[in-house]
Amino acid sequence: MELLTLLSDGKFHSGVDLAQHFNVSRTTIAKKIKDWQACGLDIDVVQGKGYRLQQPIQWLQQSQIWQHIPVDIQQKISLFELKQEVASTNDVVAEQLQT
């Protein structure tokens, strides 16, 4: 997700710079870009310039979501967390139930 965030700024980012930033190979970056393109993300790939998203992604913001939850419902919510990514939602719920 952090890679997508970087690519969302409208600037080109070279594969070399991205690979160094994430401590992976350029091949790993290129493969991830191809995977996202196959999923429908419009990513510009320009030799000598690098990669960028054609349109920025509007990421979900916890505060914005919270504002749209009616107050009477907010009062019933004891925990509200927005995570960028989880391996398993079941594991997250199980962990919360144990605390």
Check whether 1 has a pLDDT greater than 80: no
pLDDT given at position 20: 97
pLDDT digits (tens, 9 = 90+) for 67-96: 999 999 999 998 888 887 888 989 888 888
Q: Find out whether 66 and 24 touch, Cβ atoms under 8 Å.
A: no
Q: What pTM, to 2 d.p., does this model score?
A: 0.65
Q: Residue 53 to residues 13, 44, 78, 83: CA-CA distances in angstroms?
A: 10, 6, 37, 22
pLDDT given at position 87: 87
Q: Which domains does the chain have, with CATH numbers?
A: 2-53 (1.10.10.10), 62-98 (no CATH)
pLDDT given at position 43: 96
